[in-house]
């Protein structure tokens, strides 16, 4: 994050497990989700009633929220893809 000159406002330790309920709450307060798994990038509309697919895209195989999870304005970014980060965060 330092390389992109990003200020972290809140950091959640990995010991605090965030699951589907927290993912749904985050999506309800967002307008778009960009879920990244390496080269695979999925974009979902968010809002009051997030889709099950959007929530599932935010969770890893253990059912916990994937990292990193970043909120930039009304956009949520979950996972990592360097090109997307350069475009949307940097």
Region 38-45: mean pLDDT is: 93
What are the C-alpha distances in Å from 84 to residues 3, 55, 65, 69? 15, 20, 19, 13
Lowest mean pLDDT among 25-29, 30-34, 86-90: 86-90
**Per-domain residue ranges of the chain:** 2-88
Q: pTM score, two decimals? A: 0.85
Do 67 and 14 meet the contact criterion of CB atoms below 8 Å apart?
A: yes
Whether the ω angle into residue 68 lies within 30 degrees of 0, i.e. cis, is: yes
Whether the per-residue pLDDT at 5 is higher than 80: the answer is: no
SS3 79: strand
**pLDDT, greater one: 58 or 6:** 58
Distance of CA 52 to the CA centre of its chain: 15
Region 37-49: mean pLDDT is: 90
């Amino acid at each position: 994050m330092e390389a992109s000159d990003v200020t972290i406002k809140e950091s959640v330790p990995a010991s605090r497990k965030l699951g589907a309920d927290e993912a749904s709450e985050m999506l309800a307060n967002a307008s778009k989700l960009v879920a990244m798994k390496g080269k695979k990038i999925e974009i979902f509309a968010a809002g009051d009633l997030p889709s099950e697919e959007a929530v599932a895209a935010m969770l890893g195989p253990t059912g916990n929220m994937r990292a990193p999870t970043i909120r930039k304005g009304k956009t949520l970014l979950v996972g990592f893809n360097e090109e997307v980060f350069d475009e949307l965060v940097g």
